[in-house]
């Protein structure tokens, strides 16, 4: 099922659209009524990772789920994948849609962009929610190439840093990557059906899509340098984490000023495995 058809089938009068912002094109899906709530997804998914939570949130908010720069139906330019530029994309989209402020919630790469948005555009955000990860910082350089003692194997971090080789290896084969990532990061694999798995693989299966997605990882040096210049987030911030990551995330996020909450019975992909719990946590927080 393509994005437009899927969007129109969601309760809440959702529609798929594109906007020209910050010198690029962003695809987004919007529906519902109320204060604007922007949802930012991560790798290797698209806006549809929020699709089961979106109708629940649409009862209270104008929900806008965005394909980030380089993702799915959004443009895949040669550069601009540092999180500050991607946050500017989202800021200009919010303005394009006629809003001065919005709630922002991100997952994975989307969390990095959401955090950057809150730092760089504090006048345009009401509250911030991040899921599973925060902004890239120097701790990235401490990740182990050969993890042990139950540490996650983040093999795609070094692979996605390479220029050219991932496109040669993976173009036309991203179904293997998507299935592996889901199967190793879901508590209940049945929470994502085959149709969604195929849709995610298709979104990342081309040379340009792989190059663009890798760009989010290849800009980490710039993101870390930017983070060193940042102050603290000045709006209320919520962090949602899976049980596997909660212990590691809680002290770090609390130092950043976030209230941290646990989403039970979930792996990394919180909005996919526990959309009802995520929607409730976000609604309780955003108010």
CATH no. for residue 133?
A: 3.40.50.1820
pLDDT at 145 over 90: no
15 falls within a domain: yes
- Whether residue 89 contacts residue 77, with contact meaning beta carbons closer than 8 Å, is answered with no
> According to the model, what pLDDT value does residue 119 have?
98
- Whether residue 47 contacts residue 39, with contact meaning beta carbons closer than 8 Å, is answered with yes
pLDDT band at 248 (very low <50, low <70, confident <90, very high): confident
pLDDT band at 214 (very low <50, low <70, confident <90, very high): very high
168 falls within a domain: no
146 falls within a domain: no
| Segment 91-114 mean pLDDT | 98
Question: Tell me: the pLDDT tens digits for 189-203?
Answer: 999 999 999 999 999
For the record, the structure tokens of 121 come out as 């555009």
Count of domains for the chain: 1
> According to the model, what pLDDT value does residue 151 have?
77
pTM of the model: 0.97
80 falls within a domain: yes
pLDDT at 143 over 90: no
201 falls within a domain: no
Beta-sheet pairing, 61-67 with 24-31: antiparallel
* Lowest pLDDT segment from 44-48, 129-133, 145-149: 145-149
Phi, then psi, of 24 in degrees rounded to 5: -140, 180
211 falls within a domain: no
pLDDT at 38 over 80: yes
Which residues in 83-132 belong to E strands, given as ranges?
A: 102-107, 125-131
45 falls within a domain: yes
Range of the domain at 45: 3-140+221-286
Q: Pseudo-torsion of CA 47, 268, 84, 53, nearest 10°?
A: 30
Question: Tell me: the pLDDT tens digits for 215-247?
Answer: 999 999 999 999 999 999 999 999 999 999 998
82 falls within a domain: yes
pLDDT band at 54 (very low <50, low <70, confident <90, very high): very high
| Segment 92-101 mean pLDDT | 98
- Whether residue 154 contacts residue 177, with contact meaning beta carbons closer than 8 Å, is answered with no
């Amino acid at each position: 099922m393509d994005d437009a058809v899927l969007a129109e089938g969601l309760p809440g009068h959702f529609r798929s659209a594109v906007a020209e912002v910050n010198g690029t094109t962003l695809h987004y899906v919007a529906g519902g009524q109320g204060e604007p709530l922007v949802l930012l997804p991560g790798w290797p998914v698209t806006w549809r990772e929020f699709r089961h939570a979106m109708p629940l949130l649409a009862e209270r908010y104008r929900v806008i789920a965005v394909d980030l720069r380089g993702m799915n139906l959004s443009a895949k330019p040669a550069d601009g994948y540092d999180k500050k530029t991607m946050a500017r994309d989202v800021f200009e989209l919010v303005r394009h849609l006629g809003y001065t402020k919005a709630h922002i919630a991100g997952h994975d790469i989307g969390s990095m962009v959401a955090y950057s948005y809150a730092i760089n555009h504090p006048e345009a955000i009401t509250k911030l929610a991040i899921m599973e990860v925060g902004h890239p910082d120097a701790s990235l350089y401490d990740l182990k190439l050969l993890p042990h003692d139950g540490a996650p194997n983040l093999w795609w971090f070094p692979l996605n840093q390479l220029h050219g080789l991932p496109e040669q290896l993976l173009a036309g084969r991203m179904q293997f990557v998507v299935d592996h990532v889901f199967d190793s990061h879901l508590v209940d694999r049945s929470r994502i059906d085959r149709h969604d798995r195929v849709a995610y693989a298709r979104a990342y299966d081309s040379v340009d899509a792989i190059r663009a997605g890798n760009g989010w990882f290849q800009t980490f040096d710039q993101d870390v340098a930017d983070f060193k210049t940042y102050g603290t987030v000045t709006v209320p911030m919520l962090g949602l984490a899976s049980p596997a990551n909660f212990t590691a995330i809680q002290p770090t996020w609390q130092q950043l000023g976030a209230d941290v909450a646990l989403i039970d019975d979930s792996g990394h992909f919180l909005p996919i495995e526990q959309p009802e719990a995520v929607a409730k946590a976000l609604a309780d927080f955003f108010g």
